[in-house]
Amino acid sequence: MRKVCDNCKGAFTPKYPAYGTKNKNRFCGVDCRNQFLKTVGFKKGDKRLIGNRNGKLFYKGQFDELQPNWKGDSVSYGGLHKWLLRRKIKTNICEHCGDSKKTQWANKDGQYKRELSDYIELCSSCHKYYDNQIRRALTT
């Protein structure tokens, strides 16, 4: 039984029979399916459904507290840095020495909070120096 791919409109023969499911065998291959999902997306009503985690649906445009995996202030170190990279734009100019190098976000007070004003952009050598100064201040 030949079918027509929903993405490329080419004819193909399905590898496996679709037993009672209407969404199987819609595409000639994985590449076509992935390309189709990137351009069209999953739809439920008029919203674009991105995924389903633990029974909670979330849509394109849901960020922060609306996201089902939002951890609030109990975020991990890596999660906090990803959050920061999405919200602050790097200029690649160190705020301490003024050199234009590859920069990193440095935490000002040593307490990792979700406050954009609590981070400064430093080159790696200034970042090391800055972190050592904070550690000394916190231990004394």
Buried/exposed code over 99-129 (b: 16+ C-beta within 10 A; e: otherwise): eeeebbbbbeeeebeeeeebbbbbbeebbee
Q: How do residues 57-102 score in pLDDT, each as one tens digit?
A: 555 555 666 666 777 778 888 888 888 887 888 899 999 999 998 9
Antiparallel, parallel or unpaired: β 11-12 and 3-4: antiparallel
* pLDDT (0 to 100) of residue 46: 42
Task: Answer for the pair 7, 29: CB distance below 8 angstroms, yes or no.
Answer: no
Average pLDDT of span 122-129: 93
Q: Would you list the domain boundaries of the chain?
A: 1-40, 43-70, 72-139
* pLDDT (0 to 100) of residue 93: 94
Average pLDDT of span 105-119: 87
Quote the distance between the C-alpha of residue 112 and its chain's center: 19
Q: How do residues 44-57 score in pLDDT, each as one tens digit?
A: 444 455 555 555 55
41, pLDDT greater than 60: no
Q: Pick from 119, 122, 93: which is nearest to 107 by CA?
A: 119
DSSP string, 14-72: -SS---S-SSTT-SSSHHHHHHHHHHT-EEETTEEEEEEETTEEEETT--GGGSTT--G
* pLDDT (0 to 100) of residue 112: 83
* pLDDT (0 to 100) of residue 102: 92
Q: How do residues 17-35 score in pLDDT, each as one tens digit?
A: 666 555 567 788 888 877 7
